[in-house]
Amino acid sequence: MDPATRIRELRQLLRYHEERYYVHDDPDISDAEFDALMRELSALEAAHPDLVDPDSPTQRVGGRPAEGFPTVAHLEPMLSLENAYSAHELREFHARLCRALGVAETTPMPYVAELKIDGLSIALTYERGRLVRGVTRGDGVRGEDVTPNVRTIRAIPLSLSGPQEAVPAVVEVRGEVYFPRADFQRVNDEREAEGEPAFANPRNAAAGTLRTLDAATVSRRGLRAFLYQVVLPAGSPLVAATHHATLAQLQAWGLPVERHHRLCADVDAVVAFCDEWRDARHALAFETDGVVIKLDDVAMRAALGATAKFPRWAVAFKFPAEQARTRLKQIAVNVGRTGAVTPYAVLEPVRLGGTTVQMATLHNEQEIARRDIREGDLVLVEKGGDIIPKVLGPVLAERPDGSAPWVMPSQCPACQSPLTKPEDEVVWRCDNISCPARIRRGLQHFASRRAMDIEGLGESLVDQLVTLGHVHTYADVYRLNAETLAALDRMGPKSAANLVAAIDASRTAALWRALHGIGIRHVGEGVAKALARAFGSMAALRAAPVEQIEAVPDVGAVVARSVRAFLDDPRNQGVLDAMVAQGVQMADAQGGDADTLRAFTGKTFVLTGTLTSMTRDEAAATIEALGGKVSSSVSKKTTYVVAGAEAGSKLEKAKALGVAVLDEGQFQALIMTSQA
């Protein structure tokens, strides 16, 4: 078989199997067999690049991170939905529709009930059957164009199925991008291993992921989608006369439609559907927080119209937050990587929201006192939109005799260091940088990609190293050897050698990585870079008075005091000295601008379009090395916009604001002049 024929055959096979998996939830082949077909197609396309097609299943992941998202107008506004919280309110909704249509409430009025997906609204535009654009809801009138990221979601077909004459020339399909429960848990586990905060719920995670500028990251996370609405340009013929027929058409086009939707003959059937799914929803592979009820007849919808905010023909029934009663066995405290000590509830196991709950948040000492929550209480626990349940308060009538108000520990439970709390804060802290609890969490962050970038030093290994006493401080990481590492669980000579090499490479990491990694409160990546630009070395920063630190752009008084307090702690000083003794350079080659200003100090750059002589990351690193700052948005404070090929809306905004624009040649000349 010639390559072109086999490539066409493989593309058709892969599209078929994607539809079986994502649309019909009924795969014909295993994941391994699917991957084998994908690898075969990738190899053929690599060998015959002239046969690569943008709609090929291999072309879903873009190669370069985006610079930002332009906004795009929707064909018609994406409105919100009015909420209902009871059967009574659902019947009131039905009564309003009947009055508006001038019919009796007993008139048969079919509705379609759909599970409300807890995700991010999306609008997909297909032209001549091919996906050309994916846009978030935004403000309802305009949304962010996230097309490169949408293309990575395998549930969304790049081209619609069926005869092309049956597909509108232009059609906007709306729905929800969401995180399956299993993928959400996997991503949160990965984030915690990297020292990053876990997503609070799948909705936030989906929104954050779809707005990620790196399409490869979006692809790895495993987003899915359900589609449920068709919007056509003015004057176009209807796709179908009813909503349930529209859903069938979406499926016929190969689009994923949530399969539990139901055509309900009347409002009583709608109420029954909502009651049915109140508990049954916990068995689903995705989160749902309610039911969307829509009038089935499209002509009636048009007659009802919409208010400025809501369509009159639809309503969202919201499931109530689930609650349960259980015994509070203990109020324990958790020590985070920056030393924050927060209380949490240890509960007798109780079923809540489809899962067994044994722990819940208590927020802080003040909240415990305000609600008078005590150990031994029978408490009311709620699980609403967030993943982590919370304790609402005690059942006072069931309080056992002899209970006493809870008192915050005065010492860290992990290292016995005295806890401290500034007068203007509510959180107690352990200031010991070598605290075992802090070091467990802190090491995961220290080794993460956005800090010291020590590949292989993950959560499981960190736990072993701390438990066995091999690592007490960040400096101890640089004392590890291959023999020690190879003896650990799930490690061997090769893995140990690779980790030692990664640790060695991190000794010469940029200063901002060390500043970000060591866990100074309020010092994230941006502040770390600002401090590194200003001082150039840890030694210079350690010698700087708080006023000098505060004067650094993007720092300010609160951060400056936090940095100074961290550096003044003798225990932290000892760790930093030990890191230097182990060869961690903690100084940038070009030095800082605390004493000598560099060429780009005080200048803000915005990069847009494609540069041919360097990547955008390389351009940003060069700007920062010369003391400048790189921003993602154009404002009157922007010094230069560097415009490469195919520059977009940022270039137009720069011109409108009168901001200086440099082409690539002018940018290169400015760099050469500044480095001279």
pLDDT per residue over 289-315, tens digit each? Answer: 899 999 999 999 999 998 877 899 999
pLDDT at residue 130, as a whole number: 93
Domain that holds residue 347: 322-398
Query: Does the model's pTM come out above 0.75?
Result: no
Active site residue ranges: 116
Q: Which helix (H) or strand (E) holds 207?
A: helix 202-210
Residue 386 has pLDDT above 90, yes or no: no
- Angle at which helices 3-18 and 31-47 cross, to 10°: 150
Tell whether 169 and 298 lie within a shared domain: yes
Residue 236 has pLDDT above 50, yes or no: yes
b/e sequence 391-409, b meaning 16+ C-beta within 10 Å: beebeeeeeeeeeeebebe
Pick the residue with more confidence: 576 or 16?
576
Mean pLDDT, rounded, of the chain: 87
pLDDT at residue 25, as a whole number: 54
Residue 165 has pLDDT above 70, yes or no: yes
Pick the residue with more confidence: 133 or 185?
133
**Domain boundary pick from 267, 300, 318:** 318
Highest mean pLDDT among 27-31, 183-187, 384-388, 485-489: 485-489
Pick the residue with more confidence: 247 or 208?
247
pLDDT band at 64 (very low <50, low <70, confident <90, very high): very low
Tell whether 99 and 49 lie within a shared domain: no
Listing DSSP states for 530-547 in one string gives HHHHHHSBHHHHHHS-HH
Is 592 within a domain? no
pLDDT per residue over 654-672, tens digit each? Answer: 998 999 999 988 898 888 7
Is 416 within a domain? no
Query: From residue 581, how far is each of 21, 261, 572, 574 by CA, in Å?
Result: 55, 65, 14, 10
Highest mean pLDDT among 16-30, 178-192, 553-567, 601-615: 553-567
Q: Which residues contact 447 (CB under 8 A, 6 or more apart)?
A: 195, 453, 454, 457, 458, 462, 477, 517
**Torsional sign, CA 162, 163, 165, 169:** positive
DSSP code of residue 160: -
Q: Which residues contact 93 (CB under 8 A, 6 or more apart)?
A: 82, 84, 267, 293, 315
Report the pLDDT averaged over residues 579-592.
83
Residue 126 has pLDDT above 60, yes or no: yes
Q: Which two tokens stand for residue 147?
A: 């097309």
pLDDT band at 38 (very low <50, low <70, confident <90, very high): confident
Tell whether 276 and 349 lie within a shared domain: no
In the chain, % of residues over pLDDT 70: 92
Residue 589 has pLDDT above 80, yes or no: no
pLDDT band at 158 (very low <50, low <70, confident <90, very high): very high
**Torsional sign, CA 121, 125, 131, 134:** negative
Nearest-angstrom CA–CA distance, 337 and 192: 11
Of 125-129, 352-356, 388-392, the poorest mean pLDDT is in: 352-356
Label the pairing between strands 322-335 and 378-383.
Answer: antiparallel
Query: From residue 249, how far is each of 112, 173, 242, 558 by CA, in Å?
Result: 15, 11, 11, 57
Q: Coil, strand or helix: which one is 489?
A: coil
Residue 314 contacts residue 293 (beta carbons within 8 Å): yes
Task: Using CA atoms of 55, 57, 61, 64 in order, give the dihedral in degrees to the nearest 10.
Answer: -50
Tell whether 231 and 91 lie within a shared domain: yes
Residue 499 contacts residue 506 (beta carbons within 8 Å): no
Report the pLDDT averaged over residues 279-287.
88
Q: Which two tokens stand for residue 35?
A: 């991957």
Residue 395 contacts residue 310 (beta carbons within 8 Å): no
pLDDT band at 23 (very low <50, low <70, confident <90, very high): low
Nearest-angstrom CA–CA distance, 629 and 569: 30
pLDDT at residue 385, as a whole number: 54
Is 7 within a domain? yes
For 101-108, the CB contacts below 8 A with 24+ separation are 101/300, 101/303, 101/304, 108/265, 108/266
pLDDT at residue 595, as a whole number: 40
Nearest-angstrom CA–CA distance, 231 and 97: 22
pLDDT at residue 107, as a whole number: 87
Query: From residue 455, how far is each of 444, 450, 486, 528 by CA, in Å?
Result: 11, 11, 16, 21
Is 431 within a domain? no
Calculate ∠ Cα 393-395-398, nearest 5°: 150
Calculate ∠ Cα 525-527-533, nearest 5°: 100
Report the pLDDT averaged over residues 158-167.
85
Of 41-45, 117-121, 416-420, 570-574, the poorest mean pLDDT is in: 41-45
Report the pLDDT averaged over residues 154-172.
89
pLDDT at residue 405, as a whole number: 96
Q: Which residue has the tokens 């097309």?
A: 147
Residue 62 has pLDDT above 80, yes or no: no
Residue 47 has pLDDT above 80, yes or no: yes
Q: What is the largest CA-CA distance in the chain?
A: 85
Question: Radius of gyration over alpha carbons of the chain, in Å?
Answer: 29
Q: Which two tokens stand for residue 409?
A: 């520990």
Phi, psi torsion values for 358, nearest 5 degrees:
-125, -10
- Angle at which helices 202-210 and 181-193 cross, to 10°: 70
Tell whether 209 and 301 lie within a shared domain: yes
The domain total for the chain is: 6
pLDDT per residue over 517-557, tens digit each? Answer: 998 888 888 889 889 988 999 999 999 999 999 988 778 88
Q: Coil, strand or helix: which one is 176?
A: strand
Tell whether 131 and 197 lie within a shared domain: yes
Task: Using CA atoms of 550, 551, 556, 560 in order, give the dihedral in degrees to the nearest 10.
Answer: -20
pLDDT at residue 598, as a whole number: 63
Calculate ∠ Cα 289-294-296, nearest 5°: 145
Residue 559 has pLDDT above 70, yes or no: yes
Tell whether 609 and 551 lie within a shared domain: no
* Burial of residue 390 (number of CB atoms within 10 Å: 0-12, 13-18, 19+): middle
Tell whether 209 and 255 lie within a shared domain: yes
Picking from 429, 427, 368, 418, the residue whose alpha carbon sits closest to that of residue 393 is 368
Is 553 within a domain? yes
CATH number at residue 562: 1.10.150.20
Tell whether 572 and 611 lie within a shared domain: no
pLDDT at residue 384, as a whole number: 59
In the chain, the amino acid numbered 587 is: A
Residue 97 contacts residue 295 (beta carbons within 8 Å): yes
Report the pLDDT averaged over residues 509-521.
91
Nearest-angstrom CA–CA distance, 412 and 418: 6
CATH number at residue 357: 2.40.50.140
Is 165 within a domain? yes
CATH number at residue 17: 1.10.287.610
pLDDT band at 67 (very low <50, low <70, confident <90, very high): very low
Q: Which residues contact 100 (CB under 8 A, 6 or more apart)?
A: 304, 312
Residue 258 contacts residue 72 (beta carbons within 8 Å): no
Listing DSSP states for 210-250 in one string gives HT-S-HHHHHHHT-EEEEEEEE--TTPPPS-SBHHHHHHHH
Picking from 398, 350, 410, 340, the residue whose alpha carbon sits closest to that of residue 374 is 398
**Domain boundary pick from 458, 475, 506:** 506
Residue 212 contacts residue 55 (beta carbons within 8 Å): no
Nearest-angstrom CA–CA distance, 222 and 154: 8
Residue 36 has pLDDT above 70, yes or no: yes
Tell whether 152 and 292 lie within a shared domain: yes
Tell whether 331 and 305 lie within a shared domain: no
Highest mean pLDDT among 159-173, 245-259, 516-530, 587-601: 245-259
Q: Which two tokens stand for residue 318?
A: 């919201």
pLDDT at residue 31, as a whole number: 60
Residue 615 has pLDDT above 70, yes or no: yes
Is 411 within a domain? no
Is 364 within a domain? yes
CATH number at residue 150: 3.30.470.30
Nearest-angstrom CA–CA distance, 66 and 607: 11
pLDDT at residue 208, as a whole number: 79
pLDDT band at 63 (very low <50, low <70, confident <90, very high): very low
Q: Coil, strand or helix: which one is 560?
A: helix
**First CA to last CA distance, the chain:** 60
Tell whether 630 and 666 lie within a shared domain: yes
Report the pLDDT averaged over residues 53-64.
63
Residue 355 has pLDDT above 80, yes or no: no
Pick the residue with more confidence: 252 or 385?
252
pLDDT band at 594 (very low <50, low <70, confident <90, very high): very low
